[in-house]
Amino acid sequence: MKRTITHLADGRELIYFDRRDDADRGAIDRRPLDPRPVASELRYDPLTEEWIAVAGHRQTRTFMPPADECPLCPSSDTRASEIPAHDYDVVVFENRFPSFSMNLGTYGDVGGLSEVRPGVGRCEVVCFTSDHSSSFSRLSDAQVELVMEAWADRTAELSAIDGVEQVFCFENRGEEIGITLTHPHGQIYAYPYVTPRTRLQLGAAARHAARHGGNLFADVLAAERAAGTRVVAANELWTAFVPAAARWPYEVHVYPHRQVPDLAALTEEERAAFAPLYTSVLRALDGMFGVAMPYVASWHQAPVRQQRELGYLHLELFSIRRAPGKLKYLAGSESAMGAFVNDVLPEEAARLLRSQVDH
């Protein structure tokens, strides 16, 4: 793999990940771009003990442009995009409209009981392929491995930034999910705090370790593999299963069989084994109702500086489609109280997904 670092016209970093060592990455971004926005501000909610990012500059971000104006496609002789090269394998660059960044501004007291501090961190865009009409499910195994190399590289690099507490790699896919660009891509958030869901999971893991002496995530994986009824797909190094208490109509968790804290800790063999299993699960989702399923795919990694021994890298994938022509919207119970009601029995979801997995 060849890794090439360059910069866009406004100073943002862009990194090419190429399979070929002779790839020419000398193209220059000559666009007249506005100055980069200052970082968001974080406001603390004393009632939930959570940090909320306020990033007004994101109101102006690009929204659903036509294909011939896609900012994630390669540049051409007649149109400049976010990627100066005329072709690429995998590209990562700093988001033009970041929720977190190191470009700090001035942050004052807002009154009340809410503490305010700068939204230190970094947000990056990961372009999985230069093919605008493709999807992650259609990537070759070699291309998925290259994406994983990029994820691992960025996880290690972003974890070293002062003030970053957690690195989150994810993909949103489908208009129903709320995407703003249709090109196959994901994002990486380097948070200045440990996220609420991770804090909940690690708290449960700490209590489980105190009571039983084992790792909670490893024990969940072992129990699901032993039960088998919710396992969707598996190979020697990974297992994909529907969790027993799934929140979403079609939800799949993908675990490596070895406990590792993050993507950077995976072996080459583990990355290679992930590719065919994961894309088969994505294709199974698409095969459920004969339409491209909207989904969120999120990598759960251990925090950078605390409780890493409790963490267990895994991917959580879910779709909001519950039936042909029907979506699961977060209603009052879910949105207001965080109390989920799932319309699909997890065992039935697993059975249906198994029937669609490539054999």
DSSP state letter for 245: T
Q: What are phi and psi of 195, to 5 degrees?
A: -65, 155
Q: According to DSSP H, which parts of 15-122 are helical?
A: none
State yes or no: 127 annotated in a binding site: no
Is 86 catalytic? The answer is no
d(CA 318, CA 336): 20
Instruction: Give the list of residues 6+ apart from residue 347 with CB closer than 8 angstroms, or none.
Output: 229, 230, 242
183 is in an annotated binding site: yes
Of residues 120, 88, 78, the one with CA closest to residue 2: 88
Q: Give DSSP secondary structure letters for 184-243.
A: SEEEEEEESS--HHHHHHHHHHHHHHHHHSS-HHHHHHHHHHHH-TTEEEE-SSEEEE--
Q: In whole angstroms, what is the distance from residue 301 CA to residue 156 CA?
A: 11
Q: Is 132 marked as binding a ligand?
A: yes
Q: If DSSP states are collapsed to H, E and C, what string results for 9-20?
A: CCCCEEEEEECC
Out of 7, 185, 208, 212, which one is annotated catalytic? Answer: 185
> Is 208 one of the annotated binding-site residues?
no
Q: What distance in Å separates the CA atoms of residue 225 and residue 214, rounded to the nearest whole number?
A: 17
Separation CA 61–CA 123 (nearest Å): 14
| Catalytic residue annotation | 185
Binding residues for Zn(2+): 70, 73, 132, 183
